[in-house]
Amino acid sequence: MHWWLPLKGSTFAGDIDGLFLAILIITGIAFVVVEAGLIWFVIKYRQRPGRKAFYTHGNTRAEVIWTTIPAVTMVALGLISNHYWVRIKGRNSVPANAYPIAIHAKQFEWQVTYPGADGQLGTPDDFTVRNQLHVPVGRPVVFTMEGPDVIHSLWVPPLHGKKDLIPGHATSLWIKADRPGAFGGQCAEFCGYQHAHMRLLVIAESRGAFDAWLARQRRPAPEPTDAQARRGRDVFLTGPCAICHTIVGTPAAARLGPDLTHLAGRTTLAAGTLPNTPGHLAGWIIDPQRIKPGVHMPSIGLDGADLQALLAYLGSLK
Ligand code: CUA
Protein backbone atom coordinates (compact mmCIF):
# COMPACT_ATOMS: atom_id res chain seq x y z
CA MET A 1 0.00 0.00 0.00
CA HIS A 2 1.18 3.52 -0.73
CA TRP A 3 1.25 6.28 1.84
CA TRP A 4 -0.64 8.64 -0.46
CA LEU A 5 -3.50 6.15 -0.81
CA PRO A 6 -4.46 5.55 2.81
CA LEU A 7 -8.02 4.49 2.04
CA LYS A 8 -7.09 1.46 -0.02
CA GLY A 9 -8.22 -1.93 1.24
CA SER A 10 -6.00 -4.27 -0.78
CA THR A 11 -2.40 -4.50 -1.95
CA PHE A 12 -3.42 -4.65 -5.60
CA ALA A 13 -5.51 -1.51 -5.23
CA GLY A 14 -2.44 0.45 -4.09
CA ASP A 15 -0.38 -0.86 -7.01
CA ILE A 16 -3.07 -0.25 -9.64
CA ASP A 17 -3.62 3.29 -8.38
CA GLY A 18 0.15 3.79 -8.07
CA LEU A 19 0.58 2.88 -11.75
CA PHE A 20 -2.30 5.14 -12.74
CA LEU A 21 -0.97 8.08 -10.71
CA ALA A 22 2.63 7.69 -11.91
CA ILE A 23 1.55 7.74 -15.56
CA LEU A 24 -0.90 10.57 -14.92
CA ILE A 25 1.77 12.73 -13.26
CA ILE A 26 4.48 12.11 -15.89
CA THR A 27 2.18 12.59 -18.87
CA GLY A 28 0.59 15.58 -17.11
CA ILE A 29 4.00 17.27 -16.78
CA ALA A 30 4.77 16.45 -20.43
CA PHE A 31 1.45 17.96 -21.48
CA VAL A 32 2.04 21.18 -19.55
CA VAL A 33 5.64 21.57 -20.79
CA VAL A 34 4.75 20.88 -24.44
CA GLU A 35 1.68 23.11 -24.48
CA ALA A 36 3.50 25.92 -22.64
CA GLY A 37 6.37 25.74 -25.16
CA LEU A 38 3.91 25.69 -28.04
CA ILE A 39 2.10 28.80 -26.83
CA TRP A 40 5.40 30.55 -26.00
CA PHE A 41 6.85 29.94 -29.48
CA VAL A 42 3.63 30.82 -31.28
CA ILE A 43 3.52 34.19 -29.53
CA LYS A 44 7.23 35.00 -29.48
CA TYR A 45 8.08 34.09 -33.07
CA ARG A 46 4.84 34.93 -34.82
CA GLN A 47 4.68 37.19 -37.84
CA ARG A 48 4.13 40.83 -36.88
CA PRO A 49 3.94 44.06 -38.87
CA GLY A 50 7.46 44.68 -40.12
CA ARG A 51 8.73 41.22 -39.14
CA LYS A 52 8.45 37.79 -40.76
CA ALA A 53 7.64 34.69 -38.72
CA PHE A 54 10.74 32.85 -37.53
CA TYR A 55 11.49 29.47 -39.11
CA THR A 56 14.25 27.09 -38.12
CA HIS A 57 15.49 23.88 -39.68
CA GLY A 58 18.49 21.65 -39.02
CA ASN A 59 19.38 23.18 -35.63
CA THR A 60 21.40 20.34 -34.11
CA ARG A 61 21.01 21.40 -30.48
CA ALA A 62 17.22 21.77 -30.75
CA GLU A 63 16.93 18.41 -32.61
CA VAL A 64 18.93 16.63 -29.88
CA ILE A 65 16.82 18.17 -27.10
CA TRP A 66 13.43 17.36 -28.56
CA THR A 67 14.47 13.84 -29.48
CA THR A 68 16.20 12.96 -26.21
CA ILE A 69 13.62 14.25 -23.70
CA PRO A 70 10.65 12.30 -25.17
CA ALA A 71 12.83 9.18 -25.53
CA VAL A 72 13.92 9.37 -21.88
CA THR A 73 10.31 9.97 -20.83
CA MET A 74 9.13 6.90 -22.77
CA VAL A 75 11.84 4.72 -21.20
CA ALA A 76 10.89 6.00 -17.72
CA LEU A 77 7.21 5.20 -18.40
CA GLY A 78 8.21 1.72 -19.55
CA LEU A 79 10.29 1.04 -16.43
CA ILE A 80 7.58 2.33 -14.10
CA SER A 81 4.90 0.28 -15.88
CA ASN A 82 7.05 -2.82 -15.62
CA HIS A 83 7.67 -2.22 -11.90
CA TYR A 84 3.93 -2.18 -11.23
CA TRP A 85 3.11 -4.91 -13.73
CA VAL A 86 5.40 -7.34 -11.93
CA ARG A 87 3.45 -6.61 -8.75
CA ILE A 88 -0.02 -6.66 -10.31
CA LYS A 89 0.24 -9.67 -12.65
CA GLY A 90 -0.51 -12.04 -9.75
CA ARG A 91 -4.11 -10.97 -10.31
CA ASN A 92 -4.30 -13.11 -13.43
CA SER A 93 -4.52 -16.43 -11.59
CA VAL A 94 -7.25 -17.05 -9.04
CA PRO A 95 -5.83 -18.44 -5.76
CA ALA A 96 -6.88 -22.03 -5.10
CA ASN A 97 -8.43 -21.29 -1.69
CA ALA A 98 -10.58 -18.41 -2.95
CA TYR A 99 -14.05 -18.21 -1.41
CA PRO A 100 -16.70 -18.41 -4.18
CA ILE A 101 -19.46 -15.80 -4.45
CA ALA A 102 -21.85 -15.48 -7.41
CA ILE A 103 -22.95 -12.03 -8.54
CA HIS A 104 -25.86 -11.32 -10.85
CA ALA A 105 -26.17 -7.69 -11.82
CA LYS A 106 -29.43 -6.41 -13.22
CA GLN A 107 -31.16 -3.09 -13.64
CA PHE A 108 -30.32 -1.68 -11.09
CA GLU A 109 -28.94 -3.77 -8.30
CA TRP A 110 -26.45 -6.45 -7.33
CA GLN A 111 -27.74 -9.88 -6.42
CA VAL A 112 -25.07 -11.69 -4.44
CA THR A 113 -25.27 -15.42 -3.73
CA TYR A 114 -23.19 -17.10 -1.02
CA PRO A 115 -22.43 -20.81 -0.84
CA GLY A 116 -24.00 -23.15 1.67
CA ALA A 117 -22.21 -24.48 4.72
CA ASP A 118 -20.07 -26.81 2.56
CA GLY A 119 -18.51 -23.80 0.83
CA GLN A 120 -19.80 -24.75 -2.64
CA LEU A 121 -22.18 -22.69 -4.74
CA GLY A 122 -25.23 -24.38 -6.21
CA THR A 123 -26.44 -26.19 -3.09
CA PRO A 124 -29.94 -25.77 -1.62
CA ASP A 125 -28.68 -23.78 1.37
CA ASP A 126 -27.11 -21.05 -0.78
CA PHE A 127 -28.50 -17.69 0.25
CA THR A 128 -28.77 -14.38 -1.55
CA VAL A 129 -28.30 -10.80 -0.41
CA ARG A 130 -28.47 -7.52 -2.30
CA ASN A 131 -26.08 -4.66 -2.74
CA GLN A 132 -24.17 -5.18 0.53
CA LEU A 133 -21.78 -8.04 0.53
CA HIS A 134 -19.53 -9.19 3.32
CA VAL A 135 -16.09 -10.71 2.73
CA PRO A 136 -13.47 -12.07 5.12
CA VAL A 137 -10.26 -10.08 5.56
CA GLY A 138 -7.12 -11.82 4.30
CA ARG A 139 -8.85 -14.52 2.28
CA PRO A 140 -9.18 -14.24 -1.50
CA VAL A 141 -12.77 -14.08 -2.73
CA VAL A 142 -13.67 -14.96 -6.32
CA PHE A 143 -16.79 -13.53 -7.91
CA THR A 144 -18.38 -15.46 -10.76
CA MET A 145 -20.53 -12.95 -12.53
CA GLU A 146 -23.29 -12.71 -15.10
CA GLY A 147 -26.14 -10.35 -15.88
CA PRO A 148 -29.57 -11.28 -17.25
CA ASP A 149 -30.37 -8.00 -19.00
CA VAL A 150 -27.63 -5.64 -20.21
CA ILE A 151 -23.90 -5.21 -19.62
CA HIS A 152 -22.95 -3.96 -16.16
CA SER A 153 -19.47 -3.60 -14.69
CA LEU A 154 -18.33 -4.37 -11.17
CA TRP A 155 -15.92 -1.79 -9.79
CA VAL A 156 -14.88 -1.36 -6.15
CA PRO A 157 -11.95 1.09 -6.36
CA PRO A 158 -10.59 0.59 -2.81
CA LEU A 159 -10.21 -3.15 -3.55
CA HIS A 160 -9.72 -2.77 -7.28
CA GLY A 161 -10.13 -4.72 -10.41
CA LYS A 162 -13.04 -3.93 -12.72
CA LYS A 163 -14.92 -6.53 -14.73
CA ASP A 164 -17.95 -6.46 -16.99
CA LEU A 165 -20.97 -8.66 -16.33
CA ILE A 166 -22.21 -9.82 -19.71
CA PRO A 167 -25.54 -11.52 -20.44
CA GLY A 168 -24.95 -15.14 -21.41
CA HIS A 169 -21.23 -15.06 -20.74
CA ALA A 170 -19.82 -15.71 -17.27
CA THR A 171 -16.82 -13.66 -16.17
CA SER A 172 -14.88 -13.73 -12.93
CA LEU A 173 -12.88 -11.39 -10.76
CA TRP A 174 -11.09 -12.03 -7.50
CA ILE A 175 -10.30 -9.64 -4.69
CA LYS A 176 -8.59 -9.86 -1.32
CA ALA A 177 -9.24 -7.28 1.38
CA ASP A 178 -6.15 -6.66 3.49
CA ARG A 179 -7.91 -4.77 6.25
CA PRO A 180 -11.39 -4.44 7.69
CA GLY A 181 -13.56 -1.66 6.31
CA ALA A 182 -16.60 -0.74 4.27
CA PHE A 183 -15.58 -0.18 0.66
CA GLY A 184 -17.89 1.53 -1.79
CA GLY A 185 -18.37 0.28 -5.34
CA GLN A 186 -20.30 1.37 -8.37
CA CYS A 187 -21.58 -0.06 -11.62
CA ALA A 188 -19.05 1.20 -14.16
CA GLU A 189 -20.88 0.49 -17.42
CA PHE A 190 -23.82 2.62 -18.50
CA CYS A 191 -26.78 0.28 -18.14
CA GLY A 192 -29.88 2.46 -18.22
CA TYR A 193 -31.79 5.15 -16.40
CA GLN A 194 -30.51 4.40 -12.88
CA HIS A 195 -26.96 3.37 -13.76
CA ALA A 196 -25.51 6.06 -11.49
CA HIS A 197 -27.55 4.72 -8.56
CA MET A 198 -26.33 1.15 -8.94
CA ARG A 199 -23.95 1.06 -6.03
CA LEU A 200 -22.71 -1.65 -3.78
CA LEU A 201 -20.88 -1.84 -0.49
CA VAL A 202 -18.23 -4.44 0.28
CA ILE A 203 -17.86 -4.93 4.03
CA ALA A 204 -14.56 -6.62 4.88
CA GLU A 205 -14.44 -8.07 8.37
CA SER A 206 -12.49 -10.52 10.49
CA ARG A 207 -13.02 -14.22 9.96
CA GLY A 208 -15.04 -14.50 13.17
CA ALA A 209 -17.34 -11.60 12.31
CA PHE A 210 -17.76 -12.92 8.76
CA ASP A 211 -18.71 -16.40 9.97
CA ALA A 212 -21.19 -14.90 12.43
CA TRP A 213 -22.72 -12.84 9.60
CA LEU A 214 -22.99 -15.97 7.42
CA ALA A 215 -24.73 -17.83 10.23
CA ARG A 216 -27.19 -14.93 10.72
CA GLN A 217 -27.99 -14.73 7.02
CA ARG A 218 -28.69 -18.46 6.81
CA ARG A 219 -31.35 -18.22 9.50
CA PRO A 220 -34.97 -17.61 8.44
CA ALA A 221 -36.62 -14.30 9.29
CA PRO A 222 -37.44 -13.89 12.98
CA GLU A 223 -41.07 -14.31 14.07
CA PRO A 224 -42.72 -10.96 14.76
CA THR A 225 -42.99 -10.44 18.52
CA ASP A 226 -45.74 -7.80 18.78
CA ALA A 227 -49.20 -7.25 17.34
CA GLN A 228 -48.10 -4.33 15.14
CA ALA A 229 -45.36 -6.36 13.46
CA ARG A 230 -47.67 -9.35 13.06
CA ARG A 231 -50.17 -7.11 11.29
CA GLY A 232 -47.28 -5.86 9.14
CA ARG A 233 -46.46 -9.41 8.15
CA ASP A 234 -50.08 -9.94 7.09
CA VAL A 235 -49.91 -6.73 5.03
CA PHE A 236 -46.76 -8.04 3.39
CA LEU A 237 -48.07 -11.52 2.65
CA THR A 238 -51.55 -10.53 1.44
CA GLY A 239 -50.56 -7.39 -0.46
CA PRO A 240 -48.48 -6.82 -3.57
CA CYS A 241 -45.10 -7.13 -1.73
CA ALA A 242 -45.15 -10.92 -1.75
CA ILE A 243 -45.64 -11.03 -5.54
CA CYS A 244 -42.00 -9.97 -6.03
CA HIS A 245 -40.09 -10.50 -2.77
CA THR A 246 -38.86 -13.38 -0.64
CA ILE A 247 -38.80 -13.51 3.13
CA VAL A 248 -37.36 -16.87 4.13
CA GLY A 249 -39.50 -18.50 6.82
CA THR A 250 -42.75 -17.10 5.36
CA PRO A 251 -44.75 -18.17 2.28
CA ALA A 252 -43.25 -15.22 0.36
CA ALA A 253 -40.78 -16.79 -2.06
CA ALA A 254 -40.85 -14.68 -5.22
CA ARG A 255 -37.59 -13.91 -6.97
CA LEU A 256 -38.36 -10.77 -8.99
CA GLY A 257 -37.25 -8.30 -6.33
CA PRO A 258 -34.68 -8.43 -3.55
CA ASP A 259 -34.79 -11.04 -0.80
CA LEU A 260 -35.88 -9.08 2.29
CA THR A 261 -35.25 -11.77 4.93
CA HIS A 262 -32.66 -9.63 6.74
CA LEU A 263 -33.58 -6.22 5.35
CA ALA A 264 -33.12 -4.41 8.67
CA GLY A 265 -29.51 -5.60 8.84
CA ARG A 266 -28.54 -3.51 5.81
CA THR A 267 -27.43 0.10 6.06
CA THR A 268 -28.86 1.30 2.75
CA LEU A 269 -31.88 0.79 0.52
CA ALA A 270 -32.28 0.79 -3.26
CA ALA A 271 -28.68 -0.14 -4.14
CA GLY A 272 -27.04 2.45 -1.93
CA THR A 273 -29.45 5.24 -2.88
CA LEU A 274 -31.07 5.80 0.55
CA PRO A 275 -30.08 5.24 4.17
CA ASN A 276 -32.09 2.41 5.70
CA THR A 277 -34.32 4.37 8.09
CA PRO A 278 -38.09 3.96 8.64
CA GLY A 279 -38.79 7.30 6.97
CA HIS A 280 -36.79 6.52 3.85
CA LEU A 281 -38.23 3.01 3.71
CA ALA A 282 -41.75 4.44 3.91
CA GLY A 283 -41.00 6.87 1.07
CA TRP A 284 -39.50 4.05 -0.96
CA ILE A 285 -42.52 1.75 -0.52
CA ILE A 286 -45.08 4.47 -1.32
CA ASP A 287 -43.34 6.02 -4.32
CA PRO A 288 -40.10 4.37 -5.49
CA GLN A 289 -40.55 5.85 -8.97
CA ARG A 290 -40.12 9.35 -7.57
CA ILE A 291 -36.90 8.39 -5.77
CA LYS A 292 -35.45 6.24 -8.52
CA PRO A 293 -37.29 6.75 -11.84
CA GLY A 294 -37.13 3.66 -14.02
CA VAL A 295 -36.67 1.23 -11.14
CA HIS A 296 -38.63 -1.99 -11.55
CA MET A 297 -40.54 -1.59 -8.27
CA PRO A 298 -44.02 -0.12 -8.72
CA SER A 299 -45.53 2.38 -6.30
CA ILE A 300 -47.52 0.64 -3.56
CA GLY A 301 -50.72 2.28 -2.33
CA LEU A 302 -51.18 1.59 1.41
CA ASP A 303 -53.19 3.38 4.04
CA GLY A 304 -51.29 4.91 6.93
CA ALA A 305 -52.03 2.21 9.49
CA ASP A 306 -51.03 -0.61 7.13
CA LEU A 307 -47.86 1.26 6.19
CA GLN A 308 -46.88 1.74 9.86
CA ALA A 309 -47.49 -1.96 10.54
CA LEU A 310 -45.45 -2.95 7.49
CA LEU A 311 -42.58 -0.70 8.60
CA ALA A 312 -42.67 -2.27 12.06
CA TYR A 313 -42.45 -5.73 10.52
CA LEU A 314 -39.69 -4.88 8.03
CA GLY A 315 -37.78 -3.13 10.83
CA SER A 316 -37.80 -6.36 12.83
CA LEU A 317 -36.06 -8.35 10.05
CA LYS A 318 -32.56 -8.14 11.50
CU1 CUA B 1 -25.48 -1.39 -14.02
CU2 CUA B 1 -24.53 0.62 -14.86
Q: Whose CA is nearest to atom 1 of ligand 1?
A: 152
Q: Kindly report whether the peptide bond that precedes residue 108 is cis, defined as omega within 30 degrees of 0.
A: yes
Is the residue at 35 inside a domain? yes
Arithmetic mean of pLDDT, 133-139: 92
Has this prediction a pTM greater than 0.85? no
pLDDT reading at 177 higher than 60: yes
Indicate which atom in ligand 1 lies nearest the CA of residue 191.
2
Q: What percent of the chain has pLDDT over 90?
A: 35
User: Tell me: the pLDDT tens digits for 200-228?
Assistant: 999 999 999 999 999 888 888 888 888 88
On whether both 211 and 134 belong to a single domain, the answer is yes
Say whether both 240 and 160 belong to one domain. no
∠ Cα 115 191 199 (to 5°):
55
Tell whether 273 and 305 lie within a shared domain.
yes
Q: Is 52 a member of any domain? A: no
Residue 238 lies in a domain: yes
Question: Higher pLDDT residue, 57 or 23?
Answer: 23
Q: Residue range 245-252: average pLDDT? A: 87
Evaluate whether residue 53 is within a structural domain: no
**270 C-alpha to ligand 1 centroid (Å):** 13
Q: Which of 5-9, 86-90, 255-259, 271-275 has the lowest mean pLDDT?
A: 5-9
CA 285 to chain centre: 24
Q: Mutual orientation of helices 304-315 and 227-238 as an angle, nearest 10°? A: 100
Which residues, judged by CB distance below 6 Å to any ligand atom, belong to the binding site of ligand 1? 105, 108, 152, 187, 189-191, 195, 198
Contact yes or no for 223/233 (Cβ under 8 A) = no
Q: In this predicted model, what pLDDT tens digit does every residue of 55-104 receive, in sequence order?
A: 888 889 989 998 999 999 999 999 999 999 888 887 778 888 899 999 99
Is residue 94 included in any domain, yes or no? no
Alpha carbons 296 and 280: distance in angstroms, whole number: 18
Which domain, by its residues, includes 183?
99-217
Q: Domain end: 192, 217, 242, which one?
A: 217
Confidence class of residue 34 from pLDDT cuts 50, 70 and 90?
A: very high
Give yes or no: residues 132 and 209 share one domain.
Answer: yes
Judgement on whether residues 116 and 39 belong to the same structural domain of the protein: no
Tally of domains in the chain: 3
